[in-house]
Structure 1
């Protein structure tokens, strides 16, 4: 099991990741995370000190999806966020349709 997978598995048992832990789990520099939080496309409270930021498992998944879109399509953070948001919405709607179909 890789370090990133181990860290992701560990997240299920722990409350949150620090900025450095999230960056490490995504294989990016902490500045990448800071930039995305400040742009409003990734969780984190910009009103508190950066060292106080904590990220949950949803943030880890979103950060990894953002990074993948940015790398695969040379997209900026806003475009990547839009693609990730649309993908999340599609999954949510498909789950809702499946639930309604099961009735």
Structure 2
């Protein structure tokens, strides 16, 4: 493996009050617009707004797009597989949080 095989790592804080345009989301994740539109069509992310030119995306969408990218790159999943994997990962996180909460009661 050489340095050309590695994807860049971006770090920072997601601020939920801010929203991103489609262009900003694509730039932040280094992906094509068509790919993000495909994620919307598969209900992997949900924009605010009814038309593409007014879509706004939350910080949670940014996190999901980056996770979807990793799943596609690392595991070769298609969009349906990405949707399923992300849903299962969120469910697992929820159940773990419930177990922690129950342990504190």
Match of 1:98 in 2: 100
**Is residue 2:33 matched to residue 1:30?**
yes
Conserved in 1, the CA contact under 8 Å of 2:16 and 2:59? no
Larger helix fraction of residues = 1
Q: Which one of the candidate residues 60, 68, 81 is aligned to 2:83?
A: 81
**Is residue 2:70 matched to residue 1:65?**
no
Structure 1 segments of 4+ aligned residues over 2 angstroms from their partners: none
Mark the runs of 5 or more structure 1 residues left unpaired by the alignment: none
Secondary structure in structure 1 of the residue aligned to 2:87? helix
Q: TM-score, normalised by structure 2?
A: 0.82
CA RMSD after TM alignment: 2.1
Q: TM-score, normalised by structure 1?
A: 0.83
Match of 2:50 in 1: 48
Aligned length: 98
Mark the runs of 5 or more structure 2 residues left unpaired by the alignment: 1-7
